[in-house]
Amino acid sequence: MSGQLWIEVSTDEKDEQTTALAMLLAELVRYRRDVEKELESIDEIDVADIYWDEQFQAKAFWTGYVLDLRRGGRLRYVVAHMADRYPARREDLEYYLKLKLTKRGTAWYEPPDPLDAMFVGSGMSQPMINRGKLRAELRKLNKEGFRTLNITGGSASGKTYSYQLVQVLARSEGFPVLLIDVAEWGTERFGALELAQRLAGHFKFAISADVVADVPDPHTRARLLMNELRDNFPPVRSPRWIVIDGLDRANVDPDARGLVEKLLHSVDVNAELGEVKLVVTGFDGLVPPQTRKEPISPITRPDVRQLFAVAAAHLGYPATDAELDGWTSQVWDGRDPVADEFALAGETIYGIARETICSLIGQSA
């Protein structure tokens, strides 16, 4: 509906606004006792309904709770309360009370097939370069009955960025996605208990730290926590995707990798969690034989040219070879595709597509 407010729309999808608001709230209220105190003072909030991780982390809590509040139509009350309590950040918080939801169908760029998207993310501003393998494997998960996918690649290769293509697919297909992002833990340890409790909390049950108390062996810890997940997991009868991102980070404990290995087997081989699709990034352990794999390959000059060719076709502009070569040169020349600086080319690519190609479409209309 035109003019609908973002804060009033129920969703299972963690978008950029959800993440930004969660980070703001975590900055303002960092400790569990303070969070409980704030929430208890809001008439519309029942603290008894909240699931609390035994090892409370503000960023992780607020990321999940903002989504819970949106689903229940109560996020407005929390944001308004915080705006009153923290006047120095009132303007930042009130932004979310006024934010309009972008009407579907009015984006500058909409591919005919979500998995053909050459631009993703907020405002469809981030180019998706050289990910043909990812697109093919996501199609297999979505349409061909495969259940798991492992995305691997070097530092800054685009593994995390893959989630944005899953989001595009989820919006089109209407299935919910749960993202567990190891980056939210910063430098704090990310172990099997943290992973299991995040999964359990999302599906509305609890796992006590007592399950693995005084159990030092990482394989045993992983096995015990997998048993808890399997025994308590609710029936999932319609597609639900789980993305665990950042398993190659330095703060990931061995027992977390062990639990991921067991999760992959549980989802892919035994189908014990129902209609769950599991995507992991940076996992270097054992995976089931049928797990789909995408080792990210380096970006090449033809990849950039292909992006412009496909995007122009989606936009309805018949680009010439000379135009494609010229746009590619603007992006590629003078840059090192191996260095991190190449990521900065995304803004240049977006500018050419959003401004140059769109203006050419207007001139030819």
User: What tens digit of pLDDT does each residue of 156-170 get?
Assistant: 778 888 998 998 898
150 pairs with which residues across the strands? 280, 293
Give the bridge partners for 295, in sequence order: 152
Q: Note whether 274 and 237 are within 8 A (CB).
A: yes
Q: What is the pTM of this model?
A: 0.74
The 10 Å Cβ neighbour count of residue 336 is 8
pLDDT value of position 242: 95
Tens-digit pLDDT profile for residues 98-135: 987 654 444 688 888 999 999 988 788 889 988 999 99
Q: Which long-range contacts does 249-252 make (Cβ < 8 Å, 24+ apart)?
A: 249/182, 249/183, 249/190, 249/282, 251/182, 251/185, 251/186, 251/187, 251/188, 251/189, 251/190, 252/182, 252/190
Under 8 Å between Cβ of 174 and 164:
no
Answer yes or no: is pLDDT of 76 > 80: yes
CB of 241 within 8 A of CB of 13? no
* Kind of pairing between the strands at 148-152 and 240-245: unpaired
Amino acid at 146: F
How does residue 280 score in pLDDT terms, banded at 50, 70 and 90? very high
Q: Looking at the predicted structure, is the pLDDT value of residue 3 above 80? A: no
Residue pLDDT, tens place only, 265-274? 999 999 999 9
Both structure tokens of 131: 């990910």
* 266 in Cβ contact with 272 (< 8 Å): yes
Strand 292-295 to strand 148-152: parallel, antiparallel, or no bridges (unpaired)? parallel
Residue 9 has pLDDT above 60, yes or no: yes
Residue 1 pLDDT > 50: no
pLDDT classification of 311: cutoffs 50, 70, 90: very high
C-alpha closest to that of 178 among 38, 295, 273: 273
Which run of H or of E encompasses 152? Answer: strand 148-152
Average pLDDT, the chain: 88
Residue 308 CA neighbour count, 13 Å, CB half: 28
Residue 5, pLDDT score: 85
pLDDT recorded at residue 336: 65
Helix extents (H) in 150-295: 162-173, 192-202, 218-232, 254-268
